[in-house]
Amino acid sequence: MRIGLDMCSKRGDVMGAIKFYDLAQREEIKLEQYHYTVLLYLCSSAAVGVVRPAKSGSGSRTLDTLDSSASEETRVNSMELGSGNWDGRGLNTSTLDTEQLVDTNGSNGEKMGFDDLDGTSDEKENLAWFSNGFVKRNSRLLDGLNYPTKGGDDSSNLKDGSIKQEDNRIRVSEEVKKYALQRGFEIYEKMCLDNVPMNEAALTSVARMAMSMGDGDMAFDMVKQMKSLGINPRLRSYGPALSAFCHSGDIDKAFAVEKHMLDHGVYPEEPELEALLRVSVGVGKGDKVYYMLHKLRTSVRRVSPSTADLIMNWFHSKEAARVGKIKWDPRLIREAIENGGGGWHGQGWLGKGKWSVLRTTIGADGLCKCCGEKLATIDLDPVETENFAESVASIAIKREKNSSFQKFQKWLDYYGPFEAVVDGANVGLFSQKKFIPSKVNAVVNGIRQKLPSKRWPLIVLHNRRISGGKMDERVNRALIEKWQNADALYATPTGSNDDWYWLYAAIKFKCLLVTNDEMRDHIFQLLGNDFFPRWKERHQVHFSFSDAGPVFHMPPPCSVVIQESEEGHWHIPVVSEHDCEAERTWLCIMRSKSRLERNDSATRPEDAQPLCRDNGNARSATRTGVESQPLKNGKQKYTKHQPREFFENIKDILSGSMISDCHSIVPDIATAEKIGGCVIDFQI
């Protein structure tokens, strides 16, 4: 029975699992919590229309999604209800195994695997309990209830009793949905009659079946039961109730679910926040939308493309144009921004009227290339930073042997502080498997030139990297000795993890950390998901190599997080696949009237024109149609512009020079004039 249910779970075979249940009833086999959990999961998955077979998880956690896109249809497990040639076991003996199957896409970093069952070790070896279908972000829906998409749901095209497999998801017909729902509740009632102890997985499955009927109240009741049974609800436990209420537009009950989550120490992530934002936008509740934008700011920081589209829909709506204060005290707004650390005030919508939403990027100077507004660099709380350093040290001390980490702390106290820390192994192994000290030397020399004091950075290397083999060659030995003589090298002892050393040093001295390590390993997961990403954003320096030497990608010029300005404007970063922050898309949002006023100021008469900005770079706002050039007799000669390519070259020279601080642009202008054979007229 166990092995058979395991295989049904592996194949996503809900009909086969139900037949095993019927066999158990006929043979009077007593089912246990483990068996009921598998059966309820498969029935609840079929009830919402999508069953996820084993080994079909994806890399990111989302809520259940039905993909309405068409793909080549593959018939699997096709059978008519209550019929079919079945040998009494339903097994394909050639595929039987007891392979451990785990869905690694659990919420809040938890594994949705064997721990969701009854916890006995022998049972954990056989079954995978897969969570609520965490799949790719395409059409967005919460726990199986579809929101409108361009393609629409084509499940109606499935013939009665048929099952369709797409992209590792098995979609079932309406007939199978109804049958699975009916049998699922029957199995749940039998579980109650047999007094089989409930667990979180079973109750969540029942909640999903309730959600498939649109019964959010019943789904929410399943979560409320957990506490009385001594079960701690998980993030996935709330998905069905939240989905049902959001889909029906019952905003009060949807936010009651959110309150229950927070009261029980469960924190919503972007899929849950997006669902709450969607229902808030749908009913036109401006105060709730404002609340959700700030929840996204603190919890997510940068939004997915689907959430960005939803935010744009809100700002284009009539309701968004109507909300906001006409009068406010700028002093109170500034105080709120200062008290919050910068980048937001939380005082509600400011202004009234239609909004303008444009996609933009942020320049190297931290200026929005659309509106020219300077984005904030949000300060890290010094107390938080100190606590973070202590937590890193405490974890490292427990894991390192022979008090090696305490010795490192004393070494830092004696030789510190440092303005930068270099992860030597990450640099020396860049793009190859062999450690090359000359690469470390190039990066060290390069980053030194960017430091105010020009002093040596701290280089952290494992002791096996600095001796033996090619490291004893004269050139390499000279580099090691140079670093040692400068008190810039720390060799971590045998058996230690050098990651803890360079991370702690960078946190302790609040300095730059040169590494391409994204710090996603399990050891960094111990540090939590709140403060650590913010710290990385402000301190990590990525690097690469070009023909001219190392290239450094310094921390972004502003905090990559949703920002609310003093005037009530918004800048919202969108999740990007690019490593370079200069290519990240942002939403620039302000009242249309404010944008028009800014545009008007850029086209004022020449004699009153200030320096304005284009694409993040300073430029002159004077006329550019005609250039004047003095002749020998003192008269002016007017010439038309040269070809566009020529002036693009001049623009590049000027724009590059304007970004640099403490440099006169006069030599660059002279160079441009010499190249172009003309005189450049400009005003400052």
**Residue 42 above 90 pLDDT?**
yes
The per-residue b/e assignment along 235-257, b for 16 or more CB within 10 angstroms, e otherwise, is bbbbbbbbbbbbbeebbebbbeb
Scanning the structure block, which residue is given the tokens 């042997």?
A: 401
| pLDDT interval class at 432 (50, 70, 90) | confident
Question: Any idea what DSSP says for residue 501?
Answer: H
**Residue 166 above 80 pLDDT?**
no
643: helix, coil or strand? coil
Neighbour-count burial of 612, counting CB atoms closer than 10 A to its CB (0-12 exposed, 13-18 middle, 19+ buried) = middle
- Is the CB of residue 278 less than 8 Å from the CB of residue 314? no
Would you tell me the crossing angle of helices 251-263 and 235-248 to the nearest 10 degrees? 170
Nearest to 578 by CA among 551, 560, 562: 560
**Residue 525 above 90 pLDDT?**
no
CATH number at residue 422: 3.40.50.11980
Q: In this predicted structure, which of 204-208, 228-232, 392-396, 440-444 has the lowest mean pLDDT?
A: 392-396
What value does the CA radius of gyration of the chain take, rounded to a whole number of Å?
31
Position 598 in a domain = no
Q: In this predicted structure, which of 9-13, 151-155, 258-262 has the lowest mean pLDDT?
A: 151-155
Provide the residue range defining the domain that includes 469. 382-553
Counting the structural domains of the chain, the total is 1
**Residue 208 above 90 pLDDT?**
yes
- Is the CB of residue 114 less than 8 Å from the CB of residue 102? yes
Average predicted confidence (pLDDT) for the chain:
77
Nearest to 66 by CA among 184, 180, 148, 163: 148
- Is the CB of residue 534 less than 8 Å from the CB of residue 542? no
- Is the CB of residue 457 less than 8 Å from the CB of residue 444? yes
Position 472 in a domain = yes
The predicted model scores a pTM of 0.68
Position 424 in a domain = yes
Nearest to 358 by CA among 342, 350, 345, 370: 370
**Residue 402 above 70 pLDDT?**
yes
| pLDDT interval class at 179 (50, 70, 90) | very high
- Region 397-408: mean pLDDT is 85
Position 437 in a domain = yes
In the prediction, which pLDDT does 618 show?
Answer: 40
User: CA–CA distance from 108 to each of 14, 20, 246 (Å)?
Assistant: 28, 34, 22
pLDDT tens column, 313-333: 999 999 999 999 999 999 999
CB atoms near residue 311 (< 10 Å): 25
**Residue 680 above 60 pLDDT?**
yes
Position 479 in a domain = yes
379: helix, coil or strand? coil
Query: Distance between CA atoms of 362 and 365, rounded to whole angstroms?
Result: 8
| pLDDT interval class at 172 (50, 70, 90) | confident
Query: Distance between CA atoms of 569 and 373, rounded to whole angstroms?
Result: 9
222 backbone dihedrals φ, ψ, rounded to 5°: -60, -40
Reading across the β-sheet that carries 563-564, which strands appear in turn? 355-360, 586-591, 570-573, 563-564
Nearest to 587 by CA among 598, 577, 572, 599: 572
User: CA–CA distance from 448 to each of 93, 242, 444 (Å)?
Assistant: 65, 53, 6
User: CA–CA distance from 560 to each of 301, 379, 659 (Å)?
Assistant: 7, 12, 21
Q: Is the peptide bond before 493 cis (omega within 30 degrees of 0)?
A: no
Pairing type for strands 145-146 and 141-142 reads antiparallel
Q: What single string gives the DSSP state of each residue in 39-85? A: HHHHHHHHHTTEE--TT---SS--------S----EE-S---TT-S-
- Report the first-to-last Cα separation within the chain, whole angstroms: 83
**Residue 613 above 50 pLDDT?**
no
| Structure-token pair, residue 94 | 């050639």
Query: Distance between CA atoms of 682 and 499, rounded to whole angstroms?
Result: 52
Position 645 in a domain = no
- Is the CB of residue 183 less than 8 Å from the CB of residue 20? no
User: Which residues are bridge partners to 350 per DSSP?
Assistant: 325
Position 494 in a domain = yes
Question: Any idea what DSSP says for residue 662?
Answer: S
- Region 362-369: mean pLDDT is 91
Distance of CA 131 to the CA centre of its chain: 20
Position 661 in a domain = no
Q: In this predicted structure, which of 226-235, 326-335, 483-492, 600-609 has the lowest mean pLDDT?
A: 600-609
Pairing type for strands 626-630 and 617-619 reads unpaired
User: Which residues are bridge partners to 513 per DSSP?
Assistant: 421, 540
Q: What single string gives the DSSP state of each residue in 578-618? A: -S-GGG--EEEEEEHHHHHHHHHHTTS-GGGPPPEEETTEE
Q: What single string gives the DSSP state of each residue in 9-37? A: HHHT-HHHHHHHHHHHHHTTPPP-HHHHH
| Structure-token pair, residue 260 | 């229950």
207: helix, coil or strand? helix
Distance of CA 646 to the CA centre of its chain: 42
**Residue 306 above 70 pLDDT?**
yes
pLDDT tens column, 89-134: 333 333 323 232 223 333 333 333 333 433 333 333 332 332 223 2
In percent, the amount of the chain with pLDDT more than 90 equals 50
Q: Which residue has the higher pLDDT, 190 or 656?
A: 190
SS (H, E, C) 197-234: CCCHHHHHHHHHHHHHCCCHHHHHHHHHHHHHCCCCCC
382 backbone dihedrals φ, ψ, rounded to 5°: -60, -35
pLDDT tens column, 450-461: 999 999 999 999
In the prediction, which pLDDT does 459 show?
Answer: 96
Q: In this predicted structure, which of 44-53, 300-309, 642-651, 659-668 has the lowest mean pLDDT?
A: 642-651
- Is the CB of residue 203 less than 8 Å from the CB of residue 237? yes
In the prediction, which pLDDT does 596 show?
Answer: 86
Q: In this predicted structure, which of 3-7, 310-314, 563-567, 632-636 has the lowest mean pLDDT?
A: 632-636
Element (H, E) at 244: helix 235-248
> What size, in residues, is the chain?
684
- Region 441-458: mean pLDDT is 94
| Structure-token pair, residue 634 | 């003192």
In the prediction, which pLDDT does 353 show?
Answer: 93
Highest mean pLDDT, choosing among 29-38, 375-384, 572-581, 662-671: 29-38
In the prediction, which pLDDT does 579 show?
Answer: 61
